């Protein structure tokens, strides 16, 4: 093992010594002599910018032969060259800022530290004769992301088991280091894998910037000069977190009769998806938390004779649909050819006593009767009776308690589509 390391070390040293010579080397001759002997016609000046090279130097001049690549000091393993800054991690090199005349702009009156520009050094480039780069080191604080537990449902002194360890309110669950490269920084998914709760007694919701849980964390998190604390919110019970359009589609199509619990954590735009009416009873719980479901399309076509359809099917006594707003919902029901008296309702077929409902709907429902002569319009419209107040009882609700729904913002269109052969 030691012999292999030595060979690698000597090979790297030999390659580097053929590319450039560092200022100040004592080889029994002057720097100008060395530059002429090795045709060193380009120069890079490195500023440690708060850090230090070996021997506590803050500036290093390196001379290169024409056409040679520039050394990424601090970013690669170069023998005998160190770059350190206590409490910080080296990130990368930036070119110094220049003024309109091409002169270096300095941050101090003594011209000891150039101002850093927004241009990163490209170490794939080679140097031309007479070219002189001035590079400034960028540093990242050795900060951590610290994740703390928060839950409104936990009692005093209560503990929950996360990844095999018990934690109480406000305890730190896990911490992560930042890394120099963006792709190596911890993501929400990385941290989620550490947050599973034993026996699903509690469910992780998402990360927030404060323990009040009023602002969700945006990823990736920017590194600060000190540790950054974020809060992992938990709610009691086994919940399915609803945060994108696919989750909304799943509510209407999967597991609705299995007493599942859905917890919505943000407004969701469903413009690029569509869903169908529920095919079984809704016996679960949907906590909307005041958020909106926007631009959802609900389609049900080829509705057969005497078939009954509604968005939520039958709502059972245990069901809860609380604080959900459907904004710009587009519902489309179309009968099968010559279907006789299908029953079409917007919300539910029947609703059992004891269910809890708080839903607002704004948008449009369109009912289309498919026929060659329009005769089913008369038969089918028997289920769309006016309540005398510009309302349509048949499509609004169904059988059962109709409180808890605000659909005053829904528009109804009923038409016949004549089919020609």
CA gap 174, 230 in Å, rounded: 10
Q: Which of 236, 252, 267 is the last residue of a domain?
A: 236
Query: Are 293 and 398 part of one and the same domain?
Result: yes
Query: Are 214 and 101 part of one and the same domain?
Result: no
Q: What is the DSSP letter of 67?
A: T
CA gap 355, 364 in Å, rounded: 25
Query: Are 120 and 187 part of one and the same domain?
Result: no
Query: Are 281 and 401 part of one and the same domain?
Result: yes
CA gap 367, 332 in Å, rounded: 6
Query: Are 192 and 254 part of one and the same domain?
Result: no
CA gap 20, 70 in Å, rounded: 9
pLDDT, position 408 = 86
Exposed/middle/buried for residue 59 (C-beta within 10 Å: 0-12, 13-18, 19+):
middle
Of residues 375 and 134, the one with the higher pLDDT is 134
Q: 205 pLDDT exceeds 90?
A: yes
| End-to-end alpha carbon distance in the chain | 84
pLDDT, position 370 = 78
Q: What is the DSSP letter of 375?
A: H
Under a CB-based contact definition with an 8 Å cutoff, are residues 233 and 151 in contact? yes
In degrees, rounded to 5, the angle at the alpha carbon of residue 258 between the alpha carbons of residues 257 and 262 is 95
- Structural domain for 224, as ranges: 144-236
pLDDT, position 18 = 39
Q: 209 pLDDT exceeds 90?
A: yes
Query: Are 167 and 60 part of one and the same domain?
Result: no
Query: Are 252 and 342 part of one and the same domain?
Result: yes
CA gap 140, 89 in Å, rounded: 5
Query: Are 223 and 265 part of one and the same domain?
Result: no
Q: Average pLDDT over the chain, rounded to whole?
A: 82
Residue 408 three-state SS: strand
Q: What is the pTM of this model?
A: 0.70
Query: Are 133 and 150 part of one and the same domain?
Result: no
Query: Which pLDDT tens digit goes with each residue over 43-62?
Result: 999 999 999 998 889 999 99
Q: 4 pLDDT exceeds 50?
A: no
Q: What is the mean pLDDT of residues 155-164?
A: 90
Exposed/middle/buried for residue 298 (C-beta within 10 Å: 0-12, 13-18, 19+):
buried
Nearest to 145 by CA among 64, 230, 208: 230
CA gap 166, 261 in Å, rounded: 25
pLDDT, position 298 = 94
Split into its structural domains, the chain has a count of 3
List CB contacts of 4: < 8 A, sequence separation 6 or more: none
Residue 122 three-state SS: coil
Query: Are 383 and 309 part of one and the same domain?
Result: yes
Query: Are 395 and 263 part of one and the same domain?
Result: yes
Highest average pLDDT, of 17-21, 93-97, 105-109, comes from 93-97
For residue 321, how many C-alpha atoms fall within 13 Å in the half-sphere facing its CB?
Answer: 28
As given in the structure block, the two tokens for residue 107 are 């941050």
Nearest to 93 by CA among 68, 67, 62: 62
Q: 413 pLDDT exceeds 80?
A: yes
Q: Which of 236, 256, 291 is the last residue of a domain?
A: 236
Largest separation between any pair of C-alpha atoms in the chain? 109
Query: Which pLDDT tens digit goes with each residue over 361-404?
Result: 999 999 887 775 544 443 344 456 666 665 666 777 788 888 89
Query: Are 255 and 232 part of one and the same domain?
Result: no
Query: Which pLDDT tens digit goes with each residue over 240-270?
Result: 999 999 999 999 886 455 678 999 999 999 9
Task: Enumerate the H helices of 332-374 as residue ranges.
Answer: none
pLDDT, position 199 = 76
Percent of the chain topping pLDDT 90: 43
Query: Which pLDDT tens digit goes with each residue over 292-320?
Result: 999 999 999 998 888 888 998 899 999 99
CATH number of the domain residue 85 falls in: 2.60.40.4270
Q: Which of 236, 257, 279 is the last residue of a domain?
A: 236
Percent of the chain topping pLDDT 70: 82
């Amino acid at each position: 093992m030691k012999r292999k390391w030595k060979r690698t070390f000597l090979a790297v040293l030999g390659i580097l010594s053929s590319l450039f010579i560092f200022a100040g080397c004592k080889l029994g001759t002057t720097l100008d002599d060395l530059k002429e002997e090795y045709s060193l016609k380009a120069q890079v000046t490195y500023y440690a910018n708060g850090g230090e090279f070996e021997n506590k130097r803050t500036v290093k001049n390196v001379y290169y032969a024409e056409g040679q690549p520039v050394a990424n000091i601090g970013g690669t393993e170069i023998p005998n060259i160190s770059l350190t800054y206590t409490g910080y991690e080296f990130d990368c090199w930036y070119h110094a800022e220049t003024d309109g005349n091409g002169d270096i702009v300095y941050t101090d009156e003594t011209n000891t530290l150039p101002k850093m520009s927004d241009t990163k050094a490209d170490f794939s480039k080679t140097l031309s004769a007479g070219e002189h780069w001035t590079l400034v080191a960028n540093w990242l604080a050795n900060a951590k992301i610290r994740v703390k537990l928060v839950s409104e449902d936990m009692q005093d002194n209560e503990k929950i088991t996360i990844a095999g360890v018990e934690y109480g309110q406000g305890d730190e669950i896990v911490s992560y280091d930042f890394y120099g490269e963006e792709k190596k920084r911890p993501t929400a998914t990385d941290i989620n894998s550490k947050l599973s709760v034993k026996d699903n007694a509690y469910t992780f919701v998402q990360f927030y910037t404060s323990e009040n849980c009023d602002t969700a964390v945006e990823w990736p998190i920017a590194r600060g000069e000190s540790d950054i604390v974020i809060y992992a919110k938990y709610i009691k019970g086994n919940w399915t977190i609803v945060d994108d359009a696919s989750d909304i589609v799943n509510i209407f199509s999967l597991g609705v009769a299995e007493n599942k619990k859905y917890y919505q954590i943000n407004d969701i735009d469903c413009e690029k998806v569509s869903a169908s009416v529920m095919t079984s009873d809704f016996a679960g719980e949907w906590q909307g938390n005041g958020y909106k479901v926007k631009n959802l399309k609900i389609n049900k076509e080829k509705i057969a004779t005497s078939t009954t359809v509604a968005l939520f099917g039958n709502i059972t006594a245990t069901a809860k649909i609380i604080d959900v707003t459907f904004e710009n919902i587009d519902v489309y029901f179309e009968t099968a050819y010559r279907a006789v008296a299908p029953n079409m309702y917007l919300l539910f077929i029947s609703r059992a006593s004891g269910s809890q409902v708080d839903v607002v709907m704004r948008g449009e429902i369109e009912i289309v009767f498919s026929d060659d002569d329009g005769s089913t319009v008369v038969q089918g419209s028997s289920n769309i009776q006016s309540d005398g107040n510009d309302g349509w009882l048949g499509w609004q609700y169904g059988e059962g308690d109709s409180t808890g729904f605000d659909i005053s913002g829904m528009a109804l269109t009923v038409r016949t589509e004549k089919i020609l052969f």
